[in-house]
């Protein structure tokens, strides 16, 4: 019997396209035995398929109730002829939504795709407290998804992308900070207006309104765009809201978060439809 025929007959597990549900290929799944194997790759698998295999359109397949991202393809040859291929599989955690802060807040313009998730390390807020926050690897198999400072919604959590890396196995890693459970919440915004009072160094306030915003630790998105920018003080927050809600934020505006009033120190245009407001209590 031809070796290619043997390979085909051993490929008896059917995989479907994770997005369309249509048949993708038949193969034989097994544990991943790459030369580099650690806590981030230990749950990977490989699937052996006939040499005629072609990749699914969006690099994600489903088998036996599990979803996998498809990565690099390694070929086995005999006598110069490809007999079979081995596809590296990364387990998907779920269907993720990726977009700018404004897109996540509005739910419009998002990219949806399957993504894997693995804890990377804990980081400290060294200038504020000894509290730790988590950094995760979010694995995707489609190029061009996300950018630094974009947001990923996965499961019941939000993550802010800090950087993008290429990983072994042909996957892309969105290195992301895990945000708090209440990262998206309703806040009250009160623009400062009216006559300036030099005694109290305040402006008379106008009517308040509510809006949805990201409320985050200052360190998650901090950037000093010039030397005159106000520096961090313990307790400061970054609140990100859509330009559709506030066209021109200005110092002195009041933002109420969890019944606590904060004064807007400065606002940074994220160039993607939102303002990142530096708040101080």
Q: Mind listing the pLDDT tens digit of every residue in the chain (281 residues)? A: 454 554 555 567 899 999 999 999 888 888 877 655 555 677 889 898 888 888 899 999 999 999 999 999 988 877 777 778 889 999 999 999 999 999 999 999 999 999 999 998 887 655 555 567 789 999 999 999 999 999 999 999 999 999 999 988 899 999 999 999 999 999 999 998 766 667 777 666 678 899 999 999 887 766 655 455 667 788 899 999 999 999 999 998 999 999 999 999 999 999 999 999 999 98
Q: Cα separation of 84 and 143, whole Å?
A: 26
Tell me, what's the pLDDT at 232?
76
What is the phi-psi region of residue 101: left when phi exceeds 0, alpha when psi lies from -120 to 50, beta otherwise? Answer: alpha
Locate the DSSP E strands across 125-252.
132-140, 151-154, 157-166, 172-178, 184-190, 192-197, 202-205, 209-217, 237-242
Tell me, what's the pLDDT at 131?
66
Q: Cα separation of 156 and 122, whole Å?
A: 20
Q: What is the pTM of this model?
A: 0.86
Q: Cα separation of 279 and 256, whole Å?
A: 10
Please, what's the b/e burial string for 264-277 (b: 16 or more CB within 10 A of its CB; e: otherwise)?
bbbbbebeebbbbb
Tell me, what's the pLDDT at 1?
43
Which H/E stretch holds residue 10? helix 3-10
Q: Are the C-beta atoms of residues 101 and 179 closer than 8 Å to each other?
A: no
Q: Torsion angle of alpha carbons 215, 219, 224, 228, nearest 10°?
A: 80
């Amino acid at each position: 019997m031809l070796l290619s025929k043997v390979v085909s007959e051993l490929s008896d597990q059917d995989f479907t396209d994770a997005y369309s549900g249509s048949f993708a290929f038949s193969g034989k799944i097994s544990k991943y035995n790459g030369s580099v194997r650690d806590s981030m790759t230990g749950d990977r698998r490989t699937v052996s398929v006939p040499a005629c295999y072609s990749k699914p359109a969006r690099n994600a397949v489903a088998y036996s109730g599990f979803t996998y991202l498809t990565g690099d393809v390694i070929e086995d040859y005999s006598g110069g002829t490809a007999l079979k291929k081995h596809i590296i599989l990364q387990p998907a955690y779920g269907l993720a939504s990726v977009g700018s802060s404004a897109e996540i807040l509005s739910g419009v313009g998002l990219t949806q795709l399957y993504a894997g998730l693995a804890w990377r390390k804990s980081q400290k807020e060294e200038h504020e407290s000894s509290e730790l926050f988590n950094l995760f690897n979010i694995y995707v198999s489609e190029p061009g998804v996300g950018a630094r400072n974009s947001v990923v919604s996965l499961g019941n959590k939000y993550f802010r992308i800090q950087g993008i890396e290429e990983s072994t196995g042909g996957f892309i890693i969105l290195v992301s900070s895990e945000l708090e459970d209440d990262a998206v919440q309703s806040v009250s915004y009160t623009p400062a207006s009216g006559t300036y009072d030099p005694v109290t160094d305040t402006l008379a306030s106008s009517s308040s309104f509510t809006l949805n915003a990201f409320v985050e630790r200052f360190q998650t998105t901090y950037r000093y765009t010039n030397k005159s920018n106000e520096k961090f003080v313990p307790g400061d927050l970054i609140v990100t809201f859509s330009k559709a809600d506030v066209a021109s934020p200005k110092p002195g505006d009041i933002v109420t978060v969890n019944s606590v009033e904060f004064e807007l120190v400065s606002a940074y245009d994220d160039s993607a439809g939102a303002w990142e407001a530096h708040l101080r209590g």
